[in-house]
A and B are shown apart, each in its own frame.
Chain A
Amino acid sequence: MDGLGGGDEDAERRQLLHDALKHNKDYQIAEGLTVNLFDGFVDWKNFHCLGQSADHPFPHMDPRARTTHRGQTYVESDTDAEMLIFIPFNQKVTLQSLGFTVLSSHLSFGPRTVYLFPNRWSLDFDDALTTDPAQTLTFTREDLADGTALSLSAAKFSCVDCVWVFVASNQGGEEVTRMSKMGLLGRPLKDGSHQKLGGIRGMMRA
């Protein structure tokens, strides 16, 4: 009993330490745990979304030019349910899961079918409908209410420098899609900084 108790204590301490640090970005990176990639790994300058409405667009996230959208609680699509969100990263990352949170009153507007296209620099709605996605996610209302992130295929998203998220439909077949929070969990890859490869990568893209 004593010996087991000692083992418990050790595990408990480790657990406590882990609990305390698990929201610390440095700890997560060091331990190889996931981080919210929106927190410092997204290249906001080139981030953009097609099909968003002018009244409820994605807010400017560049910290140098942060303009607050007072009272903005959600992002909305414009003329129909479809939205095409381009998320470039400032270094190579591994994507692990993607989740959305929607206001409880907007659950029927929440995204339902979501297609993901990693590592493509250009995509429009025609391409999105005709190209095979790397993965298709289907969200339920519960997922949206809790903000549960659905996990992504480890093989296809292990080394990603940009991803297109194509929201094709919403829960209640509504005219527009709305979302309040978006979580993209993953892990930055070591030594995958674009800064070091900037010149070569720029040439290859051109």
Chain B
Amino acid sequence: MPLEATLLCIDNSEYTRNGDVSPTRFEAQLDSANLICGAKTQQHPENSVGIMTMAGERVEVRVTPTVDLGKMLSGLSQISIAGTSDFLRGIQTAQLALKHRPNKNQKQRIVCFIGSPVEATEKQLETIGKNLKKNNVALDLISFGDTQPNSAKLSKLIATVDSNNNSHLVEVPSDRILSDYLLSSPIIEMSGGEDGVPMDTEGGGVPGGAATGGGGANEFGVDPNADPELYMALRISLEEERSRQQKGQEDAPAGQQQQQQEQQPAQEGGTATATAQEGQTQAQTAAAPAAPADTSADRAMTRAEIEAMEGVDDELRQALLLSLQEDAAPPAADVPMEQAKQEEQPAAPAAATAAGASASAAAAGGGGEGQTAAAAAAASAGAGGAAGAGGDAMFQDPAFVERMLGSLPGVDVNDPRIREALQQLHGGQGEGPSGAEGGDKKDGDKKDDSDKKQ
């Protein structure tokens, strides 16, 4: 993000004819240079990039720092391979070219490709490194091809130049595509780095970089001195987001309560469907005319609704869908505990979303009508309807329900109230109302449990 003037030093020595990097070191290099030019000009409209070559007859500045991408690219295309590269002189020339940049507000950066052995001594490199650091010039080195012989010298140079982590050495293994590798390197990512915004504003751990620091980034990755407006905007938006989250947390407990209450109709519905399966249609229509519509509407809604829910984050949504799929699997009499628990989950949000719809469905038609409408809805939802029936049938298995209750923390299966509820649940299959009541009761207990958990 910082306003920068960059000078790209291209290594066009004879070494770069080598084909160990595909297609050749030179071609790969030009491709990456292309990429860097694009990336730099994208980061800030006033970023300028210049191009120079380090080999050939002499070190030569091909393109003085410019904001015109076309100039850079045509400059790159005119480079030809010749001679050996002079790293030291290249860096010095680059520094000089940067010094005379027209816009003095730009930070200075040299990006240098090295595809041939560096002949300068460590002493010389240290001197030039210190000079760069003092004049606040950042240096990125891209070592490719045969990186081994240069490695020690270059990492030492970077250690000298680096202040505030503004300089990088990237060594690209020969089996990797150069430009692909650079794409994920800090050289290109410098600007994109703001994605990982640490949420700690008050920490002040990062001393916000120097007034001039090339990498003078603070907690937002923005140098407040370089761009105070952006910094302020980020800070304000962060604070707003925080207060919004705080508000959300305050509201959340109330919302959960509501959800639990809405869980009840779903349970009722479940009971009713199961009875229908067992062929006791009469009892069902007589006792709970609203119930079937309730269930299937609920089940049919779930799938569509889950996908449409906006306030829910992706993970939760996926979890809900997944649990629906598991529902669809034919329920064995002996369902593993974990699955059973997951099964409980979808009931809550499903009920929440279905509450409105089920009410209207119930109002629209009596028992028979409601059921046909429900059937259509269930069909549209694919396996959803069947899944619902299957899952609910599971709750009819007394052994299963007991085990499940036993596995919940803070629930005593021998508690007389639970016993009574269970008995009512299983005994009341024939008579709708009492069954519904049983569901109620059980739910009440469950609510208590979850309250305890909280």
Question: Are B204 and A70 touching (Cβ within 8 A)?
Answer: yes
Give Cα A67–Cα B105 distance, bound, in whole angstroms.
Answer: 21
Residues of A within 8 A of B232 (CB): 64-65
Residues of B within 8 A of A49 (CB): 210-212
Question: Are A45 and B210 touching (Cβ within 8 A)?
Answer: no
- Given A60-B208, A64-B232, is A125 in contact with B213 using a C-beta cutoff of 8 Å? no
How far apart are A187's CB and chain B's nearest CB, in angstroms?
Answer: 25
Partner of B213, one of A57, A69, A70, A72: A57
Question: Are A82 and B225 touching (Cβ within 8 A)?
Answer: no
Question: Are A60 and B212 touching (Cβ within 8 A)?
Answer: no
Does A106 sit at the interface, judged by CB under 8 A?
A: no
Do most interface residues of chain B lie in helix, strand or loop, or is the interface mixed? loop
Q: Which of under 10, 10 to 19, 20 to 34, or 35 or more describes the interface residues of A?
A: 20 to 34
Does A130 sit at the interface, judged by CB under 8 A?
A: no
How far apart are A74's CB and chain B's nearest CB, in angstroms?
Answer: 13
- Given A58-B210, A67-B204, is A46 in contact with B105 using a C-beta cutoff of 8 Å? yes
Give Cα A49–Cα B211 distance, bound, in whole angstroms.
Answer: 7
* Chain B minimum-CB-distance residue to A79: B130
Give Cα A57–Cα B103 distance, bound, in whole angstroms.
Answer: 23
Q: Residue-by-residue, is B203-220 near A (CB-CB < 8 Å gives 1, otherwise 0)?
A: 010011111110000100
Does B400 sit at the interface, judged by CB under 8 A?
A: no
Q: Residue-by-residue, is A57-89 near B (CB-CB < 8 Å gives 1, otherwise 0)?
A: 110111011111110100000111010000000
| Residues of chain B from 124 to 157 with CB closer than 8 A to chain A in the complex | 130-131, 133-136
Question: Are A57 and B207 touching (Cβ within 8 A)?
Answer: yes
Most-contacted residue by chain B among A44, A50, A52, A65 (CB, 10 A): A65
Give Cα A33–Cα B103 distance, bound, in whole angstroms.
Answer: 35
Partner of A45, one of B104, B131, B213, B225: B225
How far apart are B249's CB and chain A's nearest CB, in angstroms?
Answer: 28
Does B85 sit at the interface, judged by CB under 8 A?
A: no
Q: How many residues of B contact A (CB 8 A)?
A: 30
Partner of B134, one of A60, A66, A82: A82
* Chain B minimum-CB-distance residue to A52: B210
| Residues of chain B from 104 to 126 with CB closer than 8 A to chain A in the complex | 104-105
Give Cα A80–Cα B208 distance, bound, in whole angstroms.
Answer: 22
Give Cα A58–Cα B208 distance, bound, in whole angstroms.
Answer: 10
- Given A45-B228, A67-B224, A79-B133, is A54 in contact with B210 using a C-beta cutoff of 8 Å? yes
Does A194 sit at the interface, judged by CB under 8 A?
A: no
Question: Are A67 and B134 touching (Cβ within 8 A)?
Answer: no
What would be 25 A-B contacts, judged by CB atoms less than 8 Å apart?
A46-B104, A47-B211, A48-B136, A48-B212, A48-B225, A49-B211, A52-B210, A52-B212, A53-B163, A55-B207, A57-B207, A60-B208, A60-B211, A60-B224, A62-B228, A64-B232, A65-B231, A67-B208, A67-B218, A78-B134, A79-B133, A80-B134, A82-B134, A125-B131, A125-B134
Q: Hey, which bits of chain A sit against chain B, CB under 8 A?
A: 44-55, 57-58, 60-62, 64-70, 72, 78-80, 82, 121-122, 124-125, 206
A52-B210, A52-B211, A58-B211 known, 17 other contacts, Cβ within 8 Å = A44-B225, A50-B134, A50-B212, A51-B136, A54-B163, A57-B207, A57-B210, A60-B208, A60-B224, A62-B228, A64-B228, A65-B232, A69-B207, A78-B163, A80-B134, A122-B99, A206-B102
